[in-house]
Amino acid sequence: MKINKDVISKLARLSKLKFNDDESKLISNDLSKMLKFINQLNDLETKDIDPLIHMNEELNNWREDEIDDVLSQAEALTNSPVKDGTYFKLPKVLDKS
- Residue 34's identity, in one-letter code, is M
Question: Nearest 5°: phi and psi at 83?
Answer: -140, 155
Distance CA 79, CA 24 (A): 35
Phi-psi region of 56 (alpha: psi -120 to 50; beta: other; left: phi over 0): beta
pLDDT band at 46 (very low <50, low <70, confident <90, very high): confident
pLDDT band at 97 (very low <50, low <70, confident <90, very high): low
Sequence ranges of the domains in the chain: 5-41
Give pLDDT, residue 94: 82
Quick check: 33 pLDDT over 90? Answer: yes
CATH code for residues 5-41? 1.10.20
Q: Which of 31-35, 52-56, 58-62 has the highest mean pLDDT?
A: 31-35
- The whole model's pTM is what? 0.48
